[in-house]
Amino acid sequence: MMPRTKPEIMSPAGNWTTLHAAMQAGADAIYFGLRGFNMRDNADNFRPSELPRIARTCHGAGVRAYLALNTIIYEHEVRPVRRILEAAVAAGIDAVIGWDMAVIQTATALGLPVFLSTQMSVSNSASLAAFHRAFGIRRFVLARECTLAQIRGMRRKLGTLLGAAAAQIEIEVFAHGAMCVSISGRCFLSESSVGKSANRGQCTQPCRRPYQITGSEGEVAFRMGDQYLLSPQDLCTLPFLEQVLAAGVNSLKLEGRGRAPEYVSTVTAAYRRAVDFHFDNRHRPGFKAEFQALKETLMSGLEGVYHRGLASGFYLGAPLDQWSGAPNSQAATKKLHVGEVVKFYRKAGAVELRVCDTEFAIGDELLIQGPTTGVVRVCVNSIQIDHQPMPHARRGQSVAVQLNTPVRPGDRVYRVTSRRQ
């Protein structure tokens, strides 16, 4: 049931910095949203006028570009949505991710491929076949509550339902990132409590808070233990990635359009390396032990960026105990703002940095991030001021640090440190 080719690594882009970071880390495809029609309204997001640039940038790097248009659409938005889809076709965007019928019908009429969003909760082969026959949809982002056994069963049944056309069906699954207490995402808790709809990308995440039970007369209150019982841990399929691949999936989707560039870079690179190693070496003697060692190494990197705890979701069965133990990130590291890039010296292999906030020293790790640069990691092995070596870079100083990777003036600089410090 394993696909004959490697599954696509699809990475999130909430802005230009994360878009470049994802491409640099090895993504096969980028998915992004536009302001106003976006399930990640808190991200920077893109303007419709940027669609041609997005397509040129991605296609120039051999990367596919997918527009996420998977919010619910109200009556007064039908015409604007059509204009957006027409602009996407003109720009050369590869597909649109949606589930509202206004999006599906319009995109289909325009000849723009539709990837059916997880918001549609497709969870059986009959639904896959019906949408394929009615609208020609070939890719389905399955409901998040599907187990690997159920996905394998769908793959087997499709041959009976669609015959030779079953080979055209692509299954996309979430592989890593945040999970919603309402699973496939149709949550109304934020809408009902503060008027901000999760189905419009505006969720205020009331599920991520601690709660207590209070008696009807207000006479007693009980705190709901140490865990956040409405706040699921983050999904991570890396520990059992070989089982996901064996289920016959065609695309591994990484969640995170609202997360930081270093998160996108680290997660994309980890899944890229794991998938490549699996497909390139799975028939060699000793592969299982080597793959297990690689996964353990990659997991240490994933634990260093934002997460609420890492869990298996529904893939291996109901996640009855996979709830967050803390309100925010449980990453092992954090980043502290240092300053910005002043100038990059290509011939000298150095960068001039202006230190505005956090100081750093030789041996520290820096992150440099920018809308064209993406994410560049630097282990500081020298610091100079006016060609004189220095052990530290102090606030208010402009210093030179060795670096051969191009960065740009104005790029932001951070120091990576342990969260325990």
Q: Are residues 273 and 368 in the same domain?
A: no
Q: How many helices and strands in the chain, by DSSP H and E? A: 10, 22
In a domain, 82, yes or no: yes
In a domain, 215, yes or no: no
Q: Are residues 303 and 368 in the same domain?
A: no
Q: Are residues 97 and 241 in the same domain?
A: yes
Q: Give the CA-trace dihedral at 203, 207, 209, 210, to 10 degrees.
A: 170
User: For residue 383, what is the domain's CATH number?
Assistant: 2.40.30.10
Share of the chain above pLDDT 70, in %: 84
In a domain, 196, yes or no: no
Q: Are residues 237 and 372 in the same domain?
A: no
Ranking 135-139, 209-213, 348-352, 383-387 by mean pLDDT, the lowest is 209-213
Ranking 164-178, 210-224, 283-297 by mean pLDDT, the lowest is 210-224
Q: Are residues 289 and 147 in the same domain?
A: yes
Contact predicate 92/58, CB 8 Å: no
Q: Are residues 105 and 29 in the same domain?
A: yes
In a domain, 268, yes or no: yes
Q: Are residues 81 and 140 in the same domain?
A: yes
Closest Cα partner for 380 from 371, 370, 369, 393? 393
User: Which residues, in sequence order, are bridge partners of residue 384?
Assistant: 389, 400
Residues 169-211: tens digit of each pLDDT:
999 999 999 877 666 666 666 666 677 766 666 766 666 677 6
Query: With the C-alpha atoms ordered 234, 240, 243, 245, is the resulting torsion angle positive or negative?
Result: positive
216 pLDDT above the threshold of 70: no
Ranking 156-170, 203-217, 309-323 by mean pLDDT, the lowest is 203-217
Q: Are residues 340 and 282 in the same domain?
A: no
Alpha helices for 212-333 (secondary structure H): 241-246, 261-281, 287-302
Domain boundary, last residue among 250, 278, 311 = 311
Helix (H, G, I), strand (E, B) or coil at 319: coil
Contact predicate 235/313, CB 8 Å: yes
Provide the domain count of the chain.
2
88 pLDDT above the threshold of 80: yes
Q: Are residues 45 and 151 in the same domain?
A: yes
pLDDT for position 173: 96
Q: Are residues 77 and 154 in the same domain?
A: yes
pTM of the predicted protein model:
0.86
User: For residue 163, what is the domain's CATH number?
Assistant: 3.20.20.70
Q: What is the mean pLDDT of the chain?
A: 89
Q: Are strands 360-361 and 350-355 parallel, antiparallel or unpaired?
A: unpaired
Q: Are residues 270 and 375 in the same domain?
A: no
In a domain, 324, yes or no: no
Q: Are residues 257 and 405 in the same domain?
A: no
pLDDT for position 420: 66
